Amino acid sequence: MNIEMIRAARARLDGHVRRTPLLNSPSLDAVAGRRVWVKAECLQHTGSFKLRGGWSAISAMEPALRARGVIAFSSGNHAQGVALAAARHGAPAVIIMPDDAPRAKIDATRALGAEVVLYDRARDDRDAICARISADRDLTLIRPFDDAWVIAGQATCGLEIAEQARDEGITRADVLVCCGGGGFSSGVALALEAEAPGLRVRPVEPEEFDDMARSLRSGVIERNERLSGSLCDAIITPQPGAMTFPILSRLAGPGMVVTEDQALHAMALAFSGLKLVAEPGGAVALAAALFHGDEIEGDDVIVTISGGNVDATVFRTALERFGG
Amino acid sequence: MNIEMIRAARARLDGHVRRTPLLNSPSLDAVAGRRVWVKAECLQHTGSFKLRGGWSAISAMEPALRARGVIAFSSGNHAQGVALAAARHGAPAVIIMPDDAPRAKIDATRALGAEVVLYDRARDDRDAICARISADRDLTLIRPFDDAWVIAGQATCGLEIAEQARDEGITRADVLVCCGGGGFSSGVALALEAEAPGLRVRPVEPEEFDDMARSLRSGVIERNERLSGSLCDAIITPQPGAMTFPILSRLAGPGMVVTEDQALHAMALAFSGLKLVAEPGGAVALAAALFHGDEIEGDDVIVTISGGNVDATVFRTALERFGG
C-alpha cells in the first residue's frame, strides 16, 4: 500500500465514481461548538463510499478472471458497491447477505443485477457458504476491507478530503470516519498522510461494537462480543482487519464511541441542517462531532457521512424522536 | 436582462454560493422510464436556490444604501436567502413571514440573524406592513422574483445546468423547474437560451395553484383562486410576475401540474434513490418527471429539487405514505 497505488485507483475510478461535496451548516456548527465539515458520501452512487473500493478492486482484476465473476459478503453497502462495479464491467456478481439486512439494501442489490444469497446469522456459516459458491463457480472474492485494492479505492475519498480541506483553508483538523473493519478509515488515513499531514483520522464506532477503539488503545486486535442487534448494521464487524489495524495503529488518533441514540439524533440534524439522508452507521462520525466535542481539539472538524441506505421506518423513528 | 448581467451575478456569487451537483439514480430512471438528472439545489446554503437571487441583489446594492438594511416578504426560502446574504454583507434584514409558515423556516431565518415579523394571512395586509416598516427604517425591498438582480442570481443555476448537462453529453432535454412567481424558471430559461439552446425550461406547479401553466396557455396573466392551504408553500404565489411572465412566454415549454400526493411520493423516492431531503414545493418538478412522463419527450429529463426546508412531520408523512 502506498500513495501511488491510491493515485492509480483514483485514475481508474475517474468518471465512474462521484466526487462528493464537502458541506457545512451553521446549525450543525452551533451544536458542535466548532465548524463541522461533512464529506457527503451518502451522495455517492449506490448511496455509500463502498463503490470506491468495489470499483477499485474489480477494475484492477485481470479481464479473463473478472469475466468469470465476483462474490462478496455484506450487510448491504459493500454489496451494492460490488454489484454496480461488477455490472458496469460486465462481470456476474453473487452477494451473500444476512437475512436481517435492511430490506432497502437487499432490494437495491438485486436491482443492480447481482444474485443475492441470504443466510441466517445465527444458524448458517457465512464463510462456508461463500467458499462453496466461489469454488463451484470459480468466482473471485472481493473482501469488504482487508484488501489492498479495496483500501486504495476507499482512500480516493481521502484524496478528495485533502483537496477540499485545502480549498476551505483547513490545515489542521481531526477527520472522523465511520469505522467497521477499518477499510475506509485506513484508506483515508493513508491518503491524508501523503496529501494533508495536518489532518488526522479518528475512527468512530457505536457503543458495544467498539473493537477498533479498544484495539487502538490496547495495541492488539480485540473482538466484539456481539455481532448483531445494532441499527448501525453497516459498520458491525467482528474485529479490526489484519491489514487495516496496523495502518490505523500508525496513523490514527484515539477512536471515538457514540450511542445509537446519538447516531439517530445526528441523522435528524443532517436532515434539517444539510438536507441529507444518513443511515445510522453512516451518522456515527457526525454524532461524535456533535455530541463528543470535548474529545476533539481545534476550530474545525471534518466528518464522513459514509452512507445513506436506511429503511424509511428507521428514518421516521429518528425524525420522530429527534426531529423537533 | 441579458446574459452579461447573469455572468456578472455569477462572478459576485463565486465563493459564496455552492455549485450544487447534478445527480441521478437508477431507481428514479426506472420509475420515469428515461434518465432523470436532478439539480440538487436543496444542498445550497440555506437549503434552497433562493440564496442565489438574494446574494445577487444585495451584492449589487450601493454600499451606503445596503448598510441601512433590507426587507423581504417570504414563506421561508427567500427569507433565508436574503437573511444570509444580508448578514454576510453586514446589512440588517427584516423579514415579513406568514404565521403559518413552516416552523423550520421561521426558526432558520431567525438563526441567520434576521428580524422576523409575523403576519396573519387572512387578517393582515402584508404589503402595508412591509411598506410601513421599510419607510420607517429606510430599508430596501428585495422582491422574491420580479427583480432583474434576483432573476440574474437564480439564472446562475441555469449556467451550472448548462455546463453539467454538457459534461453528461445531454444536448436536448426538457428542464423541469419548480415554479412560484417564475423567478427561478425565467432565470434558468435565460441562461439556457444563451448557453444550452437545446435545453428548454418547463415550469411545474401544484394542482389548484397552476397560475403559470394557465397563463402560458392563455397568453395573459391569470391568478390563483386560493393563496394558502398547500403543502407546497414555497411556490404558492398569486400570479406570474410582470417581469417573469414575458420571459417564460418567449422561452418556456408548456407548464406541468402535479398533485400534492405526487409531490410527497417524489420526496420519498428522492429519499431512497438520492439520499436527498426535498420539501413538497421543491419536489414538484421531480414528481412531474416521475409521474407525467407522457407529457415529456426524449431520453433525458433534467429537474430541479429547488429546496429542502421541510418540517420533520411533513417528511415523516411522505415516508409513511410512500416510503415502502
Closest Cβ opposite residue B308 in set A275, A278, A323: A275
Write out residues in chain B with pLDDT < 70, as ranges.
324
For residue A77, the chain B residues in CB contact (below 8 A) are none
Q: Does A2 touch chain B (CB under 8 A)?
A: no
Region of A298 (left: φ > 0; alpha: ψ -120 to 50; beta: rest) is: left
Closest Cβ opposite residue B272 in set A104, A272, A320: A104
Q: Does A87 touch chain B (CB under 8 A)?
A: no
CA angle A152, A157, A159 (to 5 degrees): 85
CB contact residues (below 8 A), chain A span 251-280, against chain B: 268, 271-272, 274-278
Domains A3-49+147-322 and A51-141 share a fold: yes
Give the model's pLDDT for residue B205. 98
List pLDDT tens digits, range A41-91: 999 999 999 999 999 999 999 999 999 999 999 988 999 999 999 999 999
Mean pLDDT for all residues in chain A: 96
Give the model's pLDDT for residue A281. 97
Closest Cβ opposite residue A276 in set B108, B275, B323: B275
List pLDDT tens digits, range A255-268: 999 999 999 999 99
CATH label, B3-49+147-322, candidates 3.40.50.300, 3.40.50.1100, 3.30.70.260, 3.20.20.70: 3.40.50.1100
Distance from CA of A167 to the nearest CA of B (A): 10
The model's confidence at residue A103, banded by pLDDT at 50, 70 and 90, is confident
Q: Indicate whether A323 pLDDT > 70.
A: yes
Closest Cβ opposite residue B316 in set A18, A104, A319: A319
Written out in words, the top-level CATH class of the domain with range A51-141 is: alpha beta
Separate counts of helices (H) and strands (E) for chain A: 14, 10
Give the model's pLDDT for residue B324. 66
Query: Taking the domains of chain A in order of start, what are their residue ranges?
Result: 3-49+147-322, 51-141
Give the model's pLDDT for residue B209. 96
Distance from CA of A310 to the nearest CA of B (A): 8
Residue in A closest to B277 by C-alpha: A275
C-alpha cell at A323: 426531529
Give the model's pLDDT for residue A324. 66
**CA A36 to each of CA A31, A136, A173: distance values in angstroms, whole numbers, following the listed order:** 10, 49, 10
Q: Does A37 touch chain B (CB under 8 A)?
A: no
Q: Does B283 touch chain A (CB under 8 A)?
A: no
Task: Indicate the residue type of B30.
Answer: A
Give yes or no for a contact between A46 and A310, defined as CB atoms under 8 angstroms apart: no
Closest Cβ opposite residue B277 in set A108, A112, A275: A275
Distance from CA of A232 to the nearest CA of B (A): 17
Q: Does A43 touch chain B (CB under 8 A)?
A: yes
Residues composing chain B? 324
The model's confidence at residue A148, banded by pLDDT at 50, 70 and 90, is very high
Q: Does B161 touch chain A (CB under 8 A)?
A: no
Which residues, at least 6 apart from A193, have a Cβ–Cβ distance to it below 8 Å?
Answer: A3, A251
Going edge to edge, which strands form the sheet with B199-206?
B22-23, B35-40, B300-305, B173-178, B199-206, B256-258
List pLDDT tens digits, range A270-304: 999 999 999 999 999 999 999 999 999 999 999 99
Distance from CA of B53 to the nearest CA of A (A): 19
Q: Which of A39, A264, A275 best tests the B interface by mutation, with the highest count of B CBs <10 A?
A: A275
List pLDDT tens digits, range A161-187: 999 999 999 999 999 999 999 999 999
